[in-house]
Amino acid sequence: MKKCLIKIIRICSITTLPALAAVLITMSPVLAGTDFGVISTEQLKQFVDQKQEMILIDARTPAEYQEAHITGAINIPEKQFEETKQQLPATKDALLIFYCNGVKCGKSKRVAKLAQPLGYTNILVYSEGIPVWEEYNFPLETGPGYGKKIETAKLTPGELNAMIKADDKDFVLVDVRDEAEFRKGHIPTAICIPSEIFATKSDALPKEKKIIVYCNTGSRSYLAYKKLIGLAYPRIYQTLFADWKDASLPVAR
């Protein structure tokens, strides 16, 4: 991908931005099960910074859009497609970029499929979506509900230990501290996905399983928990490494 970006940057110096969009579509990987190209976070930010002519489309629900959306995006939800499709441009070769709640969310792909039969020929999907955009601290338009405190579903050390001892296959335990902390000691069976790149790496987490996040005292795992909500994971839990150690339970290294 880095080599691809270098080529795009060089092309940009000798061509127009609309032509750059066409080049990007031909160079992008194709989203599985579709003929749509995929645009990365870095490429989309480059388009935004260079004021590329495009229509950025948030395919999530109106409530999600109102809470926070990428600056300049319009909202065309799947269930309200017929009522909202008039926002699409009359020009059929306009660049349309669809996004939703990340790589495990299918809304952007489904809405793009609804738009394609209308004759649009330049469609990209920003599959990493708003969770990764937000993780990079790129521009968002936010509503009054953004940043609202939530209550997490918590697991006690005893409950988690019982799940581990039973060799329960229905959960993934994620240590969201940094890798150095993880190497010094972690709860057995845990994988490490640091909180600052949690959304970026979330494609490793299966949506059909419980996802349990933890850090030392709760602040970083709370942020990861909120990201999982945004990524539409249905079963999310939080536990604390400090409580685990206080209970004298085993620590893996």
What is the model's pLDDT at position 28? Answer: 61
**pLDDT, tens digit, 9 for 90 and up, residues 135-187:** 999 999 999 888 888 999 999 999 999 999 999 999 999 999 999 999 999 99
Mean pLDDT value of segment 201-207: 94
Q: What is the pLDDT of residue 35?
A: 82
What band does 30 get if pLDDT is binned at 50, 70 and 90?
A: confident
Q: What is the pLDDT of residues 98-113, one digit of tens each?
A: 999 998 899 999 999 9
Of 110 and 19, the one with more pLDDT: 110
Residue 247 and residue 156: Cα distance in Å, rounded? 10
Its pTM stands at: 0.79
Which residue in the block uniquely carries the two structure tokens 């190497």?
183
Task: Give the mean model confidence (pLDDT) for residues 177-202.
Answer: 96
Give phi and psi for 122, each to the nearest 5.
-115, 85
Whole-number pLDDT of residue 32: 65
Active-site residue identified among 4, 100, 192, 215: 215
Q: What's the whole-number mean pLDDT along residues 61-68?
A: 94
Q: What is the DSSP letter of 152?
A: P
Give the pLDDT of residue 119: 97
Q: Are 103 and 127 in contact (CB under 8 A)?
A: yes
Indicate if 215 belongs to the active site: yes
**Model pLDDT for residues 217-238, shown as the tens digit of each residue:** 999 999 999 999 989 999 999 9
- Cβ-in-10-Å burial (0-12, 13-18, 19+) of 184 comes to exposed
Given this model, what pLDDT does residue 8 score?
A: 33
What pLDDT score was predicted for residue 21? 53
Q: Which residue segments constitute the domains of the chain, with CATH numbers given? A: 2-142 (3.40.250.10), 157-246 (3.40.250.10)
Round the average pLDDT of the chain to a whole number and report it: 89
Rounded Cα gap, residues 1 and 28, in angstroms: 9
Burial class for 41, CB neighbours closer than 10 Å (0-12, 13-18, 19+): middle
| pLDDT at 14 > cutoff 50 | no
pLDDT at 31 over 90: no
